[in-house]
Chains A and B, each alone.
Chain A
């Protein structure tokens, strides 16, 4: 009985495959086709090079589907656009208006408390922040713009990525469905979604934020999923034995124990956001990336490298803050070595 079912499945697949080929043949342009389809079976010269009529017509439906998306859901995308843009401009303008020493002071304060009062990290981050403006005064405002885009992109990743990661870890079906999508997001060339992003959202910061999301969320989802699945079975069994509900197990046991992995995911997410924001300068996103682009477009290697160093400094700042915050969290959730009875 079971064998019969598998055969049926294969039969259905082959019918679909053959019909797709027939559809492709019928939709091919007349000048690419032999005069009559029986010619295919008489003249076998088409076996040498891939024949032009054997072409799956994917481009047209994708194009019209995309047009449909723009026309039909234009308002919806406009809404997302306005929301993200409003967030970005208010954040950017308020930071740009602050005097620069105050911004450095804020960064130092954030680092100091996020790292659990570690002097070494704080000093390093403070120096890096100072050097952003010190490299070239032009860079200061641009770095703030880049930072705002990265932070908003990261927030979006965290808000969506972590719940999705948890869902993946708890349900095998969800994981099987999502893994290919994550693969797609990680491997598809970034221009494939950057250019449609312009069509949907216009030039500027918003397509960059969307691109950051597409590019940087997969590692966060994967690491969240991994972190929760790596939690010892015994620990979960123990919590269940004490009568913890599923929700309690998740919030009280799985997430705290997965926290180091999740923080690593957030850290990776930040680094990838920063990489994407440079590419995004090619779609008119203002920020430190356009200095690199400008330098390259004028064949000015020095200019491009100088801006590249600024990006590295920015990366160090982000990395140290998220990393040290992760370490702090880890120390907090780790059981104390000495246990007093």
Chain B
């Protein structure tokens, strides 16, 4: 009898709690996906700040590495992603779009640079300005790869991302592969640590990297000149890259190669979320959301000094810029302003 009493009581409590929970969340609920690199963190923080304070939404952020987060997004568990490195996951992403799992919401950061970088000190000392300059045995010795005797090491992109294969093809086309290994660092954090470690120890650094990133503001890297970007050449190269990704490195064919195109980072939402009429104002806002690289770098600079306080970073960004007022209706803008 006692057991039954307890059971009824606990059931009663659970139901009241869940009722209270749902009524508080009724306004709107957004689940954002966030990644393990800083520019994505900052964008997600800004968007969630506006959603929280302007739209009165209940915002939940889930952070993880690219594949699990994107998989959850395609699966409909995460509503909005604020920074998608579309070109790196182009196959997966386009498949999800054609299947109708997600809709793309336009450009986030209009231009981001990727390429091969050398630390400034070494670049000045040995006059390394272009990829051609790197192809000398005595230069390769500077960046010696301890695990591949006689070769230098270029810390490359993470294997599994398209840029890793692109770098591999580029190495072969430029002839860099005779001097350097295209070394997979395994994860974004490891790549950053390898660069930062090189600088801390005052060792030469030769790496693939990209902007906007917080680390770029802290270290002095010089981008090496490659043959200028050419659309026809790039398309030809990408065909080879996709072939290698599908069938392994043995299918490499001679191709041409050029510098990375300035890539635009995009945003996306799940179709289920975007099609819900209640979410229309949110989707309209996220569609308009776009921050130029320079401003992202500024926000990243602040983030670095803020001990990882994302809300403070978002506040600082919103206080310092007025571009965001155009993204949202006047009443929302007023609410956000009042909360700053």
Query: Residue of B at shortest CB range from A145?
Result: B147
Chain A min CB distance to B184 (Å)? 6
What DSSP secondary structure best describes chain A's contact surface? helix
Is B208's beta carbon under 8 Å from chain A?
A: no
**Would you call A293 an interface residue if the criterion is a C-beta within 8 Å of the partner chain's C-beta atoms?**
yes
Q: Determine whether the beta carbon of B197 is less than 8 Å from that of A286.
A: no
Interface flag for A85 (CB, 8 Å): yes
* Interface: A89 (CB within 8 A): yes
Is A281's beta carbon under 8 Å from chain B? yes
Q: Is the CB of A74 within 8 A of B201?
A: yes
- The distance in angstroms between the C-alpha atoms of A296 and B70, with both chains bound, is 12
Q: How far apart are the CA atoms of A74 and B201 in the complex, in Å? A: 7
> Which residues does chain A contribute within 8 Å of B245, judged by CB atoms?
298
Per a CB cutoff under 8 Å, which of A67, A70, A284, A299 touches B184? A284
B294 at the A interface (CB under 8 A): no
Q: Which residue in B159, B197, B307 is a CB contact (below 8 Å) of A199?
A: B197
Q: Which of B147, B183, B193 makes the CB contact (< 8 A) with A205?
A: B147
Nearest-neighbour CB distance to chain B for A25, whole angstroms, equals 16
- Within the complex, the shortest CB–CB distance from A245 to chain B, in Å, comes to 46
Q: Which residues of A contact B147 (CB under 8 A)?
A: 85, 89, 204-205, 286
* Contact status A282-B186, CB under 8 Å: yes
Contact with A along B200-217 (1 / 0, CB 8 A): 110000000000000000
Q: How far is the CB of B310 from chain A (nearest CB, A)?
A: 14
Most chain A C-beta atoms within 10 Å of own C-beta, residue among B160, B185, B189: B160
B residues within 8 A CB of A281?
A: 186
Within the assembled complex, what's the spacing in Å between the Cα atoms of A195 and B188? Answer: 11
In the complex, are the beta carbons of B67 and A299 less than 8 A apart? yes
Instruction: From known contacts A299-B67, A299-B92, infer whether A203 and B194 are also in contact, taking CB-CB under 8 Å.
Output: yes
- Distance to closest chain B CB from A220 (angstroms): 27
| A191, B187: Cα distance in complex, Å | 11
- Residues on the B chain within 8 Å of A202, using CB: 146, 194, 197
Check A294–B160 contact: CB distance below 8 A: yes
| Closest chain B residue, CB of each to CB of A86 | B146
**Complex interface: chain B residues within 8 A of A199 (CB):** 193, 196-197, 200
Say which residue of B71, B183, B184, B197 sits within 8 Å of A198 (CB atoms): B197
Please give the distance in Å from B240's CB to the nearest CB on chain A: 18
| Chain A residues near B193 (CB-CB < 8 A) | 195-196, 198-199, 283
Q: Which among A74, A202, A296 has the highest number of chain B CB atoms within 10 Å?
A: A202
**Do residues A191 and B189 form an inter-chain contact, with CB atoms below 8 A?**
yes
Check: B53 CB closer than 8 A to any chain A CB: no
| B66 x A284 contact (CB < 8 A) | no
- Counting CB contacts under 8 A, is A290 at the interface? yes
Q: Which residue of B lies closest to A279 (CB)?
A: B186
Bound-state CA distance A70–B185 (Å) is 20
How far apart are the CA atoms of A338 and B159 in the complex, in Å?
A: 62
**B interface with A by C-beta (< 8 Å):** 66-67, 70-71, 92, 146-147, 149, 155, 158-161, 183-187, 189-190, 193-194, 196-197, 200-201, 245, 307
- A: residues with CB less than 8 A from B are 59, 67, 70-71, 74, 81-82, 85, 89, 191, 194-196, 198-200, 202-205, 281-286, 290, 293-294, 296-299
